[in-house]
Amino acid sequence: MQSSKNAFTLIELLVVIVIISILVAIGIGNYISAADDSKYAAAEADMTSLKKAMLEYKVFHGELPLIGSEVDTVAGSGTWASVIDALIASGDLGERIDADPWGRSYYYQDHDCGASVAGQSLIITAGKDGVIGNADDFSLVVTDACLFAP
Ligand SMILES: [Ca+2]
């Protein structure tokens, strides 16, 4: 039985399989994490373009798109479309950016200039989970306060 000296034992094979499995699991985890990071980076680039378009719109129109009762929450799905349509109509947004890297709409939270405390204007993506208002959301500030007297 000379062959038993040169062959792997079952235990050795199992150890090798376990080690390979661990390495594969680590690799997949890193790949998924890198894919998520790249989607957030793409979202940030989109949102930066949208912010620039909104601020250019403000230069020519005196205010951000559709400030007021039409755009005052992050809840309305039609709200974002109306903001985007206004930017395209004004020529301030050359290429339509209406979906985040996960295929969902960006949100636009307008400051409420009629409120006693005006807040920030934000562009928001709901992030990987698609649910707005939790920890994996990502937002970009367009303006810090109300741009005109209420
Ligand atoms: Ca989220």
Rounded to whole angstroms, the Cα distance separating 87 from 17 reads 56
What SS3 class is residue 109? strand
For ligand 1, the distance from its centroid to the CA atom of residue 138, given in whole angstroms, is 8
Q: Any idea which fold 8-143 has? A: Glycoprotein, Type 4 Pilin (3.30.700)
Question: Does the global pTM surpass 0.75?
Answer: no
pLDDT at residue 146, rounded to an integer: 57
For ligand 1, the distance from its centroid to the CA atom of residue 135, given in whole angstroms, is 6
Which amino acid appears at position 99 of this protein? A
For ligand 1, the distance from its centroid to the CA atom of residue 24, given in whole angstroms, is 28
For ligand 1, the distance from its centroid to the CA atom of residue 124, given in whole angstroms, is 10
For ligand 1, the distance from its centroid to the CA atom of residue 119, given in whole angstroms, is 21
Give mean pLDDT in consecutive 10-residue pieces for the chain, a chain of 150 residues.
70 95 93 91 92 82 60 47 72 77 83 57 88 90 63
pLDDT at residue 96, rounded to an integer: 73
pLDDT at residue 39, rounded to an integer: 95
For ligand 1, the distance from its centroid to the CA atom of residue 31, given in whole angstroms, is 21
Parse the chain into domains and list their residue ranges.
Answer: 8-143
Rounded to whole angstroms, the Cα distance separating 28 from 71 reads 41
